[in-house]
Structure 1
Amino acid sequence: MDLPRSFTIRESSHRIHNPLTSQKLAILGEALGPSPGTRILDLACGSGELLCTWARDHGITGTGVDISTAFLAKARARAIELEVAEQVTFTHGDASDHVADDLVDIGSCVGATWIGGGVAGTVDLLRRSLRPGGVMLIGEPYWRKDPPDQATVEGCHAASADDFRALPELLEQFGELGCDVVEMVLADQDGWDRYVAAQWLNTRRWLDANPDDELAEQMRAELTAGPVRHVRYQREYLGWGVFALMNR
């Protein structure tokens, strides 16, 4: 059980596996202001940057769950680097059915709502681990502008325009699920650039080092098409944000 190798090639240098910059991740932590000892469950935690930096900056404790052995190794190394290894733990597993043994103060799924089959299922999954009065964090794309055609939809890694909502409709969906939106931090185009452009350099360096690998043809095709697709479609049409929710 692991991520396809192409994912770890593209994002081998990433600490944050979404378009939220480290500065905006810190802003989110400052906005929520978790007190020391706050317990967090981070599903699909990637390389653990949220847990590790918030443990350092706010004294939280927590558990991250992810399917990627490569990213979890980075998360554990990051915890040691930031001297928070006694505060956070990382578990290899399928986050789609993970429920905390003890209820947590913050339940997070930042950019991987496919683990619950979408926003509604992910909110339901996080609720199962959340104490009364706790906060859920959902990271999710939204349309910045209506996609004019199917090429734009597919250029934003969607199958249908219905895969994402406009920002007002996304916030309305949270309300329909019985949640109050109590905070949000939105990525910007620079955040998209930092996330996506770093993948191009990772891919090129990997191709130079592994020209005969079985994935080389696929990764070369991605690198050839990726920069233009990003600036033509994703950068212009797709937004992304982290939304803090509380049950009504």
Structure 2
Amino acid sequence: MDDTPPRLTRLTFHGPLSEERAAGLIRGLTDVVGSSAPATVLDIGCGWGEFMLRLIEAMPGATGVGIDVNEDDLARGRVNAETRGLAERVEFVRESAVDTARDPADIVLCFGASHALSDVRPPEHTTAALHALRRLVKPGGRVLLGEAFWQRPPAPNELSAMWPGASASEFHDLSELVDLAIDAGFRPAWIESANPDEWDHFESAYQSDVEEWLAVHPDHPLAKETRDRVDRHRKMWLRGYRGVMGLAYLTLVPVK
């Protein structure tokens, strides 16, 4: 019996995304492409690709490719695709997205993974990612970008509670983010962002299975390391970026 700490088993999507918002975003994309028309989907930094799988299910004849460097997440995606009868239409590939030579797709997804498209450091990585996404989407297609932004300028004590090296210049605000997308050759067809309930649900689900494991295995050889990790992450969230960092969902149309 495996008694090691579980990993992200309570998460449906690897980000602050509700069932309702996901369904709405999928409706918006399928209305554009046409629910009965074959389409290609490319998911950058896909993780286990739950959103991509649902999008493929909603578009008969569509095919999808998800790329990521985490083999555990990719394996989970492959199992889910097989279970839902999508294994022949979806491929999960372990590879870096930096300078990817993948062909352009009708729909390109990039949820919280702009850093995967470039070796450029923040905040310039957002601009680099947007230009990469512009090359990866077909004319008439759509990019659905999930990208972090500051909801308000972070205070010094909040920054100090976040990840090492966190800086107020690391992200843009929402208006600046949209301007960068326009400068990269897009028009923003739809702009929305994760709400507080979505964030709280995501952060709780992110650690819930491990917290319960720690309660049952306080003396496990991996307990101290695991406890330190989850305590550190919870403090980053509750004392640092909760209510400060947002995640925008931008549906972007490439300009001819």
Normalization by structure 2: what TM-score?
A: 0.83
Is residue 2:193 matched to residue 1:186? yes
Q: Give the Å deviation of 1:58.
A: 2.8
Q: Secondary structure in 2 aligned to 1:119?
A: helix
Runs of 4+ in 1 over 6 A off after TM superposition: none
Matches within 5 A, 1:54-203: 54-59=55-60, 60-100=62-102, 102-115=103-116, 116=118, 117=120, 118-149=125-156, 151-157=157-163, 159-203=166-210
The count of residues paired between Structure 1 and Structure 2 equals 237
Q: Secondary structure in 2 aligned to 1:134?
A: strand
Q: Given the superposition, is the C-alpha separation of residues 156 and 106 from structure 1 closer, same or farther in structure 2, using an over 3 Å criterion?
A: farther
Q: Give the Å deviation of 1:165.
A: 1.3
Instruction: List alignment gaps of at least 5 residues for structure 1.
Output: 1-7
Q: Distance in 2 between matches of 1:97 and 1:15?
A: 29
Q: Give the Å deviation of 1:82.
A: 2.1
Q: Given the superposition, is the C-alpha separation of residues 74 and 227 from structure 1 closer, same or farther in structure 2, using an over 3 Å criterion?
A: same
User: Is the 1:42–1:62 contact (alpha carbons within 8 Å) kept by the matching residues of 2?
Assistant: yes
Residues 15-74 of structure 1, C-alpha deviations (whole Å, 9 max, x = no match): 311111232122111122232322111111011111111111233321000111111111
Q: Distance in 1 between matches of 2:95 and 2:9?
A: 20
Matches within 5 A, 1:233-244: 233-244=240-251
Q: Give the Å deviation of 1:127.
A: 2.8
Q: Give the Å deviation of 1:203.
A: 2.1
Q: Secondary structure in 1 aligned to 2:243?
A: helix
User: Is the 1:53–1:82 contact (alpha carbons within 8 Å) kept by the matching residues of 2?
Assistant: no
Letter of the 1:235 counterpart: R
Q: Distance in 1 between matches of 2:135 and 2:208?
A: 40
Q: Distance in 1 between matches of 2:67 and 2:225?
A: 29
**Alignment partner, residue 4 of structure 1:** none
Q: Distance in 1 between matches of 2:20 and 2:83?
A: 19
Q: Distance in 1 between matches of 2:191 and 2:155?
A: 27
Name the Cα RMSD after superposition.
2.2
Q: Distance in 2 between matches of 1:103 and 1:164?
A: 27
Q: Given the superposition, is the C-alpha separation of residues 96 and 202 from structure 1 closer, same or farther in structure 2, using an over 3 Å criterion?
A: farther
**Alignment partner, residue 50 of structure 1:** 51
